[in-house]
Amino acid sequence: MAPAWVILGTGVALALHVGKLPPAVPTLTSEWGITLVQAGFLLSLVQFAGMILGLAIGVSADGIGLRRSMLTGLTVLTAASIAGGFATSYPVLLVLRALEGLGLLMAAVPAPGLLRRVVTGQQITKVLGVWGAYIPFGTGMAFLIGPWVISHGSWSLWWWVLAGATALALAAVAVVVPPDPIRAEGTTRAAGTRDRIRRTLGASGPWTAALAFGVYAAQWMAVIGFLPSLYAAAGWTGSVGAILTSVVPWVNVIGNVVAGVFLHRGWRVRTVLGLGFAGQAVGTLLAFATVTDGAPVVRFVGALIFSMVGGLVPGALFAVAPRVAPDEGTISTTIGLIQQLSSAGQVLGPPAVALLASRVGGFQWTWAACLVCCVAGGLLAVTLDRRARAHT
């Protein structure tokens, strides 16, 4: 199990980079004078590579080797984070943030395949379930640790600390994870890749699942990304603010796990997804609406509901993805498409919410933007349920 633990630990190191920007937003705003919209792009640009390359990397990682893809991604991510700590302007940091996203994608996409390679028997289901929670767990750790590092050092030090974390992961993968198997020569790989892409993009099931993940992810990154700024405005700073904001992404793990339990017990896909999107709608209303202004505890509870109940959505979508893929040979390609639209949502969500907040003078209408996404997600859930039942 040692290789599996290394891969799972690598996932946490990757997720730290996803969540490292929000704790630094207040500092960057005061030092560089960046606007809310600019902060929104910094929050989302780590997912830019996934938005344009998710499908391509999903089908190509196997071609270059899963372990080699992970090592390359960790190298790119580490180098970009080191360089980011030396950045002195917004455009430079923006470009490096996008480069970090490329490295993160190359390292994360092959992880489930590597886990299937190093874990045998019935344990693989449990291990893959743990992997599914790496983003909220690592993001929560970043929210907890980041403010302390920044307050006692600088945001640059925070970038370098996390570069060190991925450098350690790089070394561990190189030493512990077995090399990729030697492949026999062949001439049909490119044709097979094109065929898998064609079959996946030509089917409605993968698109429906990917769009549902997109509207979920747009809300997730927007709400979670601006929580530190929101709580700082409410007076929750220092260790209190760090602990409260870190708890919110951590409870998302609960929703991911419970979704699998519900589906295993025979719950309909549309029911689980509907509950998840409803939880996001209610949670953002409590967390951001004017009616809860002056009630920080209620707003915190709303953020918890948003994250925990909303966690049913990714848990259900990852579980149903193999059932809506065109065939067994296109499951990984389907997940690549889901990754691509998930990343698109995470790229577009924060700037959209930041633009709305700048226009209305605050985050009080964030819940309305999220409600639109939730309604779209509910409609997609009904369609996805039909597709999933047709494949059972």
What does the DSSP assignment read for 254-320? HHHHHHHHHHHTT--HHHHHHHHHHHHHHHHHHHHSGGGTT-HHHHHHHHHHHHHHHTHHHHHHHHH
Region of 238 on the Ramachandran plot (φ > 0 left; ψ -120 to 50 alpha; else beta):
left
Closest CA to 336 of 113, 148, 45, 120: 113
DSSP category for residue 236: -
* Amino acid 187: pLDDT: 43
Segments making up each domain of the chain, as ranges: 1-183, 200-392
- Amino acid 65: pLDDT: 79
At which residue do the structure tokens 């490329």 appear? 102
Helices 238-264/134-152 angle, 10° precision = 180
> In this predicted structure, what is the pLDDT of residue 165?
97
Do the domains 200-392 and 1-183 match in fold? Answer: yes
At 205-219, the pLDDT tens digits run: 899 999 999 999 988
Q: Residue 191's pLDDT band (boundaries 50, 70, 90)?
A: low
pLDDT at position 361 over 70: yes
pLDDT, position 233: 66
| Residue with the larger pLDDT of the pair 364 and 332 | 364
DSSP state of 46: G
Most confident of the following: 42-46, 224-228, 252-256, 326-330: 252-256
Q: Show Cβ contacts of residue 307 under 8 Å, excluding neighbours closer than 6 positions.
A: 136, 220, 224, 248, 249, 251, 252, 255, 283
Mean pLDDT, residues 241-263: 81
In CATH, which of 1.20.1250.20, 3.90.79.10, 1.10.3720.10, 1.10.260.40 is domain 1-183?
Answer: 1.20.1250.20
The pTM for the full model equals: 0.75
Question: pLDDT value at position 116?
Answer: 76
Task: Work out the average pLDDT over 67-73.
Answer: 93
Measured from the Cβ of residue 56, the count of other Cβ atoms closer than 10 Å reads 16
Q: Which residue has the higher pLDDT, 229 or 52?
A: 52
Confidence of residue 189 (pLDDT cuts 50, 70, 90): low
Of 79 and 111, more confident: 79
* Separation CA 167–CA 214 (nearest Å): 30
Q: What is the pLDDT of residues 136-159, one digit of tens each?
A: 888 888 988 998 999 999 999 999
pLDDT of 170 = 97
The average confidence (pLDDT) of the chain is: 84
Q: What is the pLDDT of residue 38?
A: 84
Candidates 216, 181, 234; CA nearest to 311 is 216
Say which range, 16-25, 26-35, 218-227, 235-244, has the weakest mean pLDDT.
Answer: 235-244
**Looking at residues 253-272, what average pLDDT do you find?**
85
Which range of 128-132, 171-175, 388-392 scores highest in mean pLDDT? It is 171-175
**Architecture field, domain 200-392:** Up-down Bundle (1.20)
